[in-house]
Chains A and B, each alone.
Chain A
């Protein structure tokens, strides 16, 4: 499903129905997914369409740039060590329209049930998009329309054993890569204390032939203060 398309477009896959048809001098965009229907008229006659996985933070409402992944099994990391593990992360699907290299987001949808959570306490914590994933020693099988796989390099910089039960990522820094079978991200998590960790993303794919996703925040031309996320209220 992911990739570049020329108009007209007709996609029907896993409960997603997406079509872009020429109608006079304009285009009619219709998308149906999980009971939600979006219909738009695009005033152009020659545009290209790009569909790719994007940062999972727009649906149902853009409330936060943070994604919290709760680990199905707690990770215990030895002191002064770096370990590589794999987890799944939720994806949203972005439909972009472009003309002469100028891209604009047309639609965002997801096949997953979204959920939010609070990290920390109501006074000094923050709202995060919530997802629960098991931890895998190697790349797990994942349905690329629903989930991606994140490679997490956890470094315990302390001299004590550390238990990690969750990881928080900042969507502004996400670097998503995809091919026909897999959506992936690579990230580092540096544990700096029993309650403190910092995470950021690595801008490289699992496999060389994977394509880089167009980032939603890049299209919006936002000035980003930081792409890291800091966990100071518990791991």
Chain B
């Protein structure tokens, strides 16, 4: 019954989306005012129904109701409850339902709270949101029904990929999806603004918090995904340029460009056309990412099912949504009046460079990701990895970071370099000092060297905009900017130091033997069997001491799951303020030794710390904007009440 209830809620939600679309369309016409009144309630109800459907799915997973096909295929009764619930979105159908639910909830929210734009534009926006939503409802209901029943009911489920049985899974996809799908709001606003020819600073102001929120979730999602891959996959790497990672990086790049250009539009009424285009591009990147991941074109832990129908379906959705929006853009771009002008040396000028560089990197990542698919059409199999992505994107990222150091110091409209001579010298000096210091240490490649110098430049410059201002009265968004930019410096520092100074040791050790890796001495004290709820493992006991200090124990494992039967390596990590010791145990050798792989990774944690700082910056900016909006609303309401009082008196 639960499953049927969920399915019914989903069908109703789809019907409401159709109603929302039709009402928004007809509501624009003369005499359609009554229909237009339906749009907002429809959006809100649709969000509630989707929420109900999603809760029903969680419920069947929590109960391990094996008469539901999806549960039988992906779950198992002997699994911790948290993974049963997380398992609801650890598969194709469930994750698509999560996608649609977030999309409906976001649409419901703008319907509920957004009243700043002209109603006509809002109607078009909500109509666009319903249109995109309908496509995904159709995909769910016709090609990936999460509530399909299974008969006869099997005695036990097939279990879940052990790689996915991790607390990371509970958080990673929902976070990333909030980011992906949150960008659909920017897409709908852009389409709404184009349809009603209403590209104004107000439009940018309304769109900006949504982009910022989605971007923040993407940042957290990418950071968490990177850390998860780092400790779960046991290779000691934190970014693999895997197509699936690129699929999340591309919307992030587009969203980063978008909220920077939206801030130009909001503050200065410039870059109108560009901002609208980025609004379309950002969500297009989310959809392309979904297509790459979900179509089965790529095989990885993320590709749940290889099913050509689904791939074709998503491709069709992609073509309709992106093609439609770009065609609309092409038709209307000429009618958007040119915005305010600015000099090359100005805040706007710096932000233009930021946007162009981000778009270039986006293009590079997109080409690198699609290239293997293209060559495959000609029966040539290639894979594209770090030797392509690292240097080629660095060519654009590094100059962009140099501009990042200067841009926030510049004034809007027009500025002179002499005015900011002092800070510029300080920033440049920091860069040169670090560059020389790093260069004097032997064995650092050019990329790491430049990375370290730029990290110093960006770190010093991040807080320059705060100088001479009262820290108490500084608006939150400015704090957010400083912290996010500082986060970039921290992450870049971590990346550069990790790739320049990591020490690795691979060996087969006897029990009792000591191994030196960097400043650490690691002793294998024992190897013993362990049993978990649904796995057994061989665990190595390691005793590690840093420069002869006290010993810490690490217990890396090699786990064997029995449903489905599979072995995974569980790395063990020891975190110090200045880095991480990363240990992996492999199998035994014929002569009774054990394979050990140890890394000392100095300051590697800075990578994720930086990622979180970037997200925190976004969060502060978001809170600042929302608080300002709330204050404005309260003030308007007070004025309205006052007026009414005056009128009645």
- Is B one of A's binding partners? no
State the B residues within 8 Å of A (CB).
none
